[in-house]
Structure 1
Amino acid sequence: MGAFGLVLPIQGPGTDLHTLLAELGEEVLAAERAGFDAVFLPEFHQAHGGALVSPLLLLAWLGARTSRIRLGTLVLSGPLHDPVRLAEDAAMLDQATGGRVILGLGVAHVEPDFKLYGVERRHRGAILDELLDLLDLAWADAAFDHRGRFFQRAGHVTAPPFAGRPPVWIAAHGPRGLARAGARGNAWVCDPQRDVTTAARLAETYRAAADAAGRPSEVVLFRDGWVGESREDCERRWAPHAMKVHRLYYNLGTYLPEFEPWVDEVRAREDFTLERLAPGRLLYGSPAEVRGTADAWFAQTGASMIAVRMRQPTGPSHAEALEAIERLGREVIGHTRT
């Protein structure tokens, strides 16, 4: 079995952000004790009711409480960031944590966020490509003069990462994004909307691009999941919260007919069901069921890690999340490493 990461929620309706941060600090410590290999924060803006933003800043705060677990973004909205500022911030976090940073990047999606940051959404792929160019230059510990389409920068970034450069993981599902991940990234991240059969097919495309570029390949699955007494227990306590998140994804247009043919069959809220969504996407059940499903997914996709988001914005509670994190560590992660 491969590694496990923990993706943290960035919102908790009914919980103020200060309290949510304190809870997440406890959940990260629980994940480190439980044997998780990494903890991740996504990037999202303008959430109704407020949410945690600035993932790298928050990871620095969380990293100060930990000693082993890796700290990553899953993923940053690459085109919304200044590349030199991002290179320096990632390098400083890498120094502060002794080389534990993973920089996950994507092209971003939500139109209002591009308006908020004054970035042309139609250029997002090209902007991300140029951002990657500038990260290479900034982390090379040498003077550079970059004159690109979107950025003109000259100088010498003298805040190097801890040892070499942090791994850059790239999330994508389209041909250009998969080619970018293969040619420029250290890993490809499969988003939680794509089922594992689709993920396995996309992984082949990604690996072909990495092979063509003479680069190693690594696959990471971002999944939503929970461990309980049984599948029925999880469907009662956890699944309704996960379904709310995936309904939001559906409303934002991230489920696509080319990957999910059933999209055109969803004409009302009641058509978007757990039975339709769960296969190959949601990792839940008893510890034995989670182990069996995870083993099958690792084998099918060749993934090295499943980054699982357990607690959703509306629940389960912090106390339940702590219990589930500890249980997944003891009865899934620990079971396979003994």
Structure 2
Amino acid sequence: MPVRFTVEHPVGQAECAAGLYGPEGLAEFARAAEEAGFDAVAFTEHPAPSLKWLRAGGHASLDPLAALAFCAAATSRIRLLTYLLVLPYRNPLLAAKTIATVDLLSGGRLTLGVGGGYLRSEFAALGADFEARGALLDESLDVLRAVWSGESFGFDGRGFTARDQVSVPAPVQLPHPPVWIGGNGRNARRRAARAAQGWSPLLIDERFAATTRTAALSTPDDLAAAVADLRELTEAQGRDPAALDVQVQSSESNVLVDGGSLEEHRSQLKDLAEAGATWFVVRVPAGGLPETKDALRRYGREIIGELR
């Protein structure tokens, strides 16, 4: 299977030009990504980051589902990826309504990259239980799958009680939009194996892994071992491991930002694909719309076009 490509919007990069996340710039960005051949556009989230975290290297963000809804109106083909949506921040029924709305209005183009989150201060600011984030993530995934089943929904959750609730209209993609689980650890792979449609790890070293409260995966060999584990876990659930996507972000994701060699980049992509990656995340320069669009076109021409 050929690798497909996600472009992450650069709003999270330091000194991202304001024009890239204003209405005209955002629409042009999404259209340029689609025209260049990218398969998905992605936004991450941090709804209430601390000033300390931002000053220590954190980043700005848009609300991912709102931004993706805007991109949906400006495009016709490209998929829309939350990368990542922190489900424990939300009441799962409110999340279900927003997710279904974006999927409906985009004609069924939404993919849900989800995770448990890692910023303790952000959990506190949002009134969410940091220590229970794994259980909250699992609960939210169960609620999302159940509430779109077509029947009324009852559930005694953590902090909420549902009695014969419904969520209509349903998303276009049934039983639900694809769910990709973020995180490098085995718990993330267990979640993906149990009921998700993909796994979304980062190739990062021990230092960065500690910051984001996940496991380190440093090399394509590390990735290959983890993918083999994912496949075993998926087979144990009676599911086909070939049906799961694996989206990877690595230092090579910054090739356009850092000015690296695209020829060497192709070789790295081959190694990641052989390790089991089916999607790859690309980051683009954020100095201004012309520079960003040029980078999108170049990658589309020299990487996406060549590989296809």
TM-score (ref. length: structure 1): 0.77
Q: Out of 33, 36, 61, which is 2:35 matched to?
A: 33
Counterpart position of 2:168: 158
Shift of 1:288: 2.3
Unaligned runs of 5+ in 1: 229-237, 240-283
Instruction: Give 1:22-61 correspondences, 5 Å limit.
Output: 22-45=24-47, 46=49, 48=54, 51-61=60-70
Confirm whether residue 293 of structure 1 aligns to residue 268 of structure 2.
yes
Confirm whether residue 223 of structure 1 aligns to residue 250 of structure 2.
yes
Q: Tell me if the contact between 2:43 and 2:82 (Cα under 8 Å) persists in the aligned partners.
A: yes
Counterpart position of 2:229: 205
Counterpart position of 1:244: none
Q: Out of 171, 186, 196, which is 1:185 matched to?
A: 196
Q: Deviations over 1:38-58 (max 9, x none)?
A: 111011242649833321011
Q: Tell me if the contact between 2:81 and 2:112 (Cα under 8 Å) persists in the aligned partners.
A: yes
Q: Give the match's secondary structure for 1:109.
A: coil
Q: Deviations over 1:219-241 (max 9, x none)?
A: 1112353456xxxxxxxxx33xx
**Distance in 2 between the 1:181 and 1:153 partners?**
26
Task: Give the superposed CA RMSD.
Answer: 2.2
Q: Give the match's secondary structure for 1:173.
A: coil
Counterpart position of 1:171: 182
Shift of 1:198: 2.2
Identity %: 32
Q: Out of 71, 75, 78, which is 1:66 matched to?
A: 75
Q: Give the match's secondary structure for 1:285.
A: coil
Q: Give the match's secondary structure for 2:41.
A: strand
Counterpart position of 2:307: 336
- The farther-off stretch of 22-31 and 183-192 is 22-31
**Distance in 2 between the 1:29 and 1:110 partners?**
33
Confirm whether residue 323 of structure 1 aligns to residue 294 of structure 2.
yes
**Distance in 2 between the 1:295 and 1:15 partners?**
30
Instruction: Give 1:127-166 correspondences, 5 Å limit.
Output: 127-154=136-163, 155-164=165-174, 165-166=176-177
Q: Give the match's secondary structure for 1:86.
A: helix
Q: Tell me if the contact between 1:11 and 1:51 (Cα under 8 Å) persists in the aligned partners.
A: yes
- Equivalent residue letter for 1:288: E
The 3 A distance-change label for structure 1 pair 113 and 201 is same
The 3 A distance-change label for structure 1 pair 38 and 16 is closer
The 3 A distance-change label for structure 1 pair 192 and 8 is farther
The 3 A distance-change label for structure 1 pair 151 and 133 is farther
- The farther-off stretch of 11-20 and 53-62 is 11-20
Q: Deviations over 1:137-184 (max 9, x none)?
A: 111121121123444212111120113110011012222222112112
- Equivalent residue letter for 2:231: R
**Distance in 2 between the 1:320 and 1:18 partners?**
12
**Distance in 1 between the 2:199 and 2:36 partners?**
25
- Equivalent residue letter for 1:197: D
Q: Tell me if the contact between 1:227 and 1:327 (Cα under 8 Å) persists in the aligned partners.
A: no
**Distance in 2 between the 1:12 and 1:297 partners?**
24
Shift of 1:212: 1.2
- Equivalent residue letter for 2:222: T
- Equivalent residue letter for 1:125: G
TM-score (ref. length: structure 2): 0.84
**Distance in 2 between the 1:18 and 1:51 partners?**
14
